[in-house]
Structure 1
Amino acid sequence: MESYLPVLIYLGVALAVPILITGLIEFLARARRARHNDPAKYLTYESGYPTPPLTGRIPVQFYLVAMLFVIFDVEAAAFYPWAVTLRRLGAFGLWEVVAFVLVLAIGYAYVWKKGGFQWR
């Protein structure tokens, strides 16, 4: 039973720390809201100007385009480390990046065929 004591202490700390941090954040947020109760501070800003609240739903297409941008941008960023280590990788590295580009091209073609790049 003594060998489980460090594990129990670890679990206790692992549970207590997030609970304490969450409680502290909530306490500080309530105190701040009580001091700064200006409704103009909570308005949505667009290009530095307050805008009225949105009156409708944001089109899902906006989120789809944003996700596609992030996905293809991160994949394009993977080429830099490959280019830096190309000499050490040799032919194996070349074929690995060819496979990577093929998977990327298949995903790109699929999104294109489904009309994911068209703003309707």
Structure 2
Amino acid sequence: MQETSENAIVLWPLLVYGAIVLSLVLLILGLSYVLGQRGTGRAMVEPYEGGIVSAGGARIRFSSQFYMVAMLFVIFDVETIFILSWAIAFQELGWYGYVGVLVFIVMLVVVLVYEWRNGALDFGPDGKKILAAYKRMNQKPASG
């Protein structure tokens, strides 16, 4: 069976493109090796070398509260995208879309209240505890 020129797959442009890309990569790597600096200062062997000698480890323990806030930010940010896309398609969706987004927003408010009640949005000590400690500190000692 003979192939006609209409059904033949032309691969030579792809092979030429691949050869050009490979030669450019090799040229860039070779030039960076030849022209690159080879200094060996104290901080050059450190990770993320920036000229400042590092002190201590990079492993710092963060409270899980930071991760909770980050997760809430991402979740509510994605919901903002959904609401924005609903607002763009408002005319086409009609009342069904309006009721759908209203249910969606009510669910968001319920989740926000739930997270608030569980303390996911508390960033520090309770204000009442701070006032009680302040009052105890300012009480005059009994004279005896």
Q: In the alignment, does 2:22 pair up with 1:57?
A: no
- The alignment's TM-score, normalised by the length of structure 1, stands at 0.57
Q: Which amino acid aligns with 1:40?
A: E
**CA–CA distance in 2 between the matches of 1:87 and 1:56?**
51
Q: In the alignment, does 2:94 pair up with 1:86?
A: no
Once the two structures are TM-superposed, the CA of residue 54 in structure 1 deviates from its matched residue by 4.2
Q: 1:80 to 1:55 in 2, by over 3 A?
A: closer
Q: 1:51 to 1:112 in 2, by over 3 A?
A: farther
Q: In the alignment, does 2:21 pair up with 1:41?
A: no
**CA–CA distance in 1 between the matches of 2:88 and 2:75?**
22
**CA–CA distance in 2 between the matches of 1:50 and 1:74?**
38
How is 1:4-83 mapped onto 2 (pairs within 5 angstroms)?
39-42=45-48, 52-54=56-58, 56-83=60-87
**CA–CA distance in 1 between the matches of 2:57 and 2:108?**
39
**Structure having the larger proportion of residues in helix:** 1
Q: 1:55 to 1:41 in 2, by over 3 A?
A: closer
Larger RCO, structures 1/2 (Cα 8 Å, 6+ apart) = 1
Once the two structures are TM-superposed, the CA of residue 67 in structure 1 deviates from its matched residue by 0.6
Query: Structure 1 residue aligned with 2:114, among 94, 110, 113?
Result: 110
Q: Percent identity over the alignment?
A: 34
Q: Which amino acid aligns with 1:87?
A: Q
- Equivalent pairs, count: 80
Match of 1:41, SS?
coil
**Structure having the larger proportion of residues in strand:** 1
Once the two structures are TM-superposed, the CA of residue 57 in structure 1 deviates from its matched residue by 2.2
Give the corresponding residue for 1:99: 103
**CA–CA distance in 2 between the matches of 1:69 and 1:50?**
32
| Higher gyration radius (CA) | 2
1:14-73 Cα shifts (integer Å, max 9, x gaps): xxxxxxxxxxxxxxxxxxxxxxxx541257x9xxx9563146522111111111111111
